[in-house]
């Protein structure tokens, strides 16, 4: 799983792009890695995920993905991401709390 804020701007290849663009590029590169002819990584990113069933909101869906992942790569720029309510932690911080160290 690769996680980050979506629309925060970054410089990528000398051009300002969004963190989502970087996630897509990383996913493509990681899924292109193979060992003995087999793909090593199956990478989950929110941008390309199938729609959730509706029994969960997007927060719960992301938390489930963190728990299911073998490896979580977090691109963290100091912004906490959206929060469910005022005063709550952001989704980026919540995902980091789940990740075992």
Task: Compute the mean pLDDT over every residue in the chain, rounded to the nearest whole number.
Answer: 83
Query: How confident is residue 37, by pLDDT bands cut at 50, 70 and 90?
Result: very high
Q: Is the pLDDT of residue 19 over 60?
A: yes
Question: From CA 30, how far away is CA 71, in angstroms rounded?
Answer: 12
Identify the residue with better confidence: 42 or 92: 42
Q: Stretch 65-77: mean pLDDT, rounded?
A: 86
The residue assigned the tokens 């912004």 is 79
Question: From CA 23, how far away is CA 56, in angstroms rounded?
Answer: 23
Q: Stretch 4-27: mean pLDDT, rounded?
A: 89
Strand bridging mode 73-75 / 2-4: parallel
């Amino acid at each position: 799983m690769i996680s980050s804020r979506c629309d925060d701007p970054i410089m990528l290849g000398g051009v300002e792009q969004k963190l989502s663009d970087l996630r897509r590029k990383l996913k493509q590169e990681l899924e292109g890695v193979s060992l003995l002819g087999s793909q090593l990584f199956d990478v989950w990113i929110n941008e390309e995920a199938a729609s959730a069933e509706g029994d969960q909101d997007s927060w719960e869906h992301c938390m489930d993905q963190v728990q299911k992942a073998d490896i979580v790569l977090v691109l963290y720029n100091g912004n906490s991401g959206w929060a469910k309510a005022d005063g709550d932690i952001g989704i980026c911080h919540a995902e980091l709390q789940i990740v075992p160290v």
